[in-house]
Amino acid sequence: MTPTDAPVLFDTFATASGHRFGRATLNAPASLNALTLPMVDALAPQLRAWAHDPQIAGVLLDANSEKAFCAGGDVVGLYRAIRATPPGEVPSAPAAFFEREYRLDYQIHTYPKPFVCWGHGIVMGGGMGLMDGASHRVATERTRMAMPEITIGLFPDVGGSWMLSRLRGRLGLFLALTGASLNASDAHAAGMVDFIAPHAGHAALMDAIARARWAGEREADGAQLSHLIESLGAPPDLAASPLRANEARIDRVLGHDGLHDIAPRLAALAQDSDPWLALAGTTFSRGSPTSAALSVALQQRARHLSLADVFRLEWQAAVGCTRHADFPEGVRALLVDKDKSPRWQPAALADVTPALIEAHLRPHFTGAHPLADLQ
């Protein structure tokens, strides 16, 4: 047990086989469970301890909030650290945050035991990083997922380059460029979650886990866990999927062209009669041109890299964003001053040069890469 005011709560519960399940609960509802470095630094060692404990059969990660599993990383804190850093220097606190956050995400991707992520409510940015690597990704009737980093001058990180580049068709690129919001049906259709369950079934799942007998073997236990989640049934009145309804349209809009050809077609969606597509087009038009170009470059490279190499490349890109104008400006406009009028530099996609993108991706460290040990 951990103190009830801790940013992450930890507990274990017994099962019929004598094994236990670990439970980690994000516990910062006032901030929609925005991921902070103390939360990362609490999760990583506890997950490691459970991974090496033969009595722990699996892990459940959830959140103490009816509104959000995790609405993203604490980018306002990163903004303040960037603003306090002298020009030309690498902001040390953001660099450390990205390193440890990505290390945690990789730990979940490679976890040796069944790992359930109960993604109820808002799941964005850093929350996607926690969820994407879980072996059992569960959405509910109120799940809302997105990678909206283009609105703050960042890019879909936390392994987003890996995940989005592997979605079918042009979905991954569309989601990165538009920050489109997905409901549970959308996320399941895209392959971004494995199950849709009623949020009211959360307690029933925990009870079923407790009554089950576990083998202590990942494949067999994973299969049993899947059956338990499926037995919860589907949520009543589950919303239809606008992504599925518009998937062919998305592929036509993006085609197989480069970003400069795609951009006017995406921008034109802002006038579409479909409100979901119209919002996507509007978000793209108002987003950072540099973020758009950087997202495309990362997805192109991620297709040919290992997961560990993607996290290493994303770390370089994230640190690069802290040293350029758009990331702090985007956070300022959306979350600090809240004027929603970012002054992007450059302001037009035509002025985003290959050299600017390479400057974002250039290594900003000496010696071994901070994530060199990821295998």
* Active-site residue (options: 149, 186, 194, 221): 149
* Active-site residue (options: 72, 73, 159, 287): 73
125 annotated active-site: no
Q: In 3-state terms, the chain is what percent helix, strand and coil (to 5)?
A: 50, 10, 35
* Active-site residue (options: 74, 99, 157, 314): 157
For 109: left if phi > 0, alpha if psi spans -120 to 50, otherwise beta; the answer is alpha
Residue entry with tokens 């009737």: 141
Q: How far is CA 335 from CA 55, 75, 147, in A?
A: 44, 9, 16
* Active-site residue (options: 126, 160, 201, 320): 126
Q: Report the C-alpha gap between 293 and 282 in whole angstroms.
A: 17
- Shortest CA distance to 178 belongs to which of 272, 291, 299, 71? 291
Q: Report the C-alpha gap between 43 and 26 in whole angstroms.
A: 9
Q: Where are the alpha helices (DSSP H) in 53-136?
A: 75-83, 92-109, 126-132
Q: Which two tokens stand for residue 145?
A: 């997922």
In the chain, the amino acid numbered 322 is: T
73 annotated active-site: yes
Q: Where are the alpha helices (DSSP H) in the chain?
A: 37-52, 75-83, 92-109, 126-132, 160-165, 171-178, 184-190, 202-211, 218-230, 242-254, 259-268, 275-286, 289-302, 307-322, 326-331, 354-361
The alpha carbon of 240 is separated from its chain's Cα centroid by a whole number of angstroms, namely 22
Q: Report the C-alpha gap between 93 and 96 in whole angstroms.
A: 5
Count of CB atoms within 10 A of residue 220's CB?
Answer: 12
Is the Cβ–Cβ distance between 119 and 142 less than 8 Å?
no
219 annotated active-site: no
Catalytic residue positions? 73, 126, 149, 157
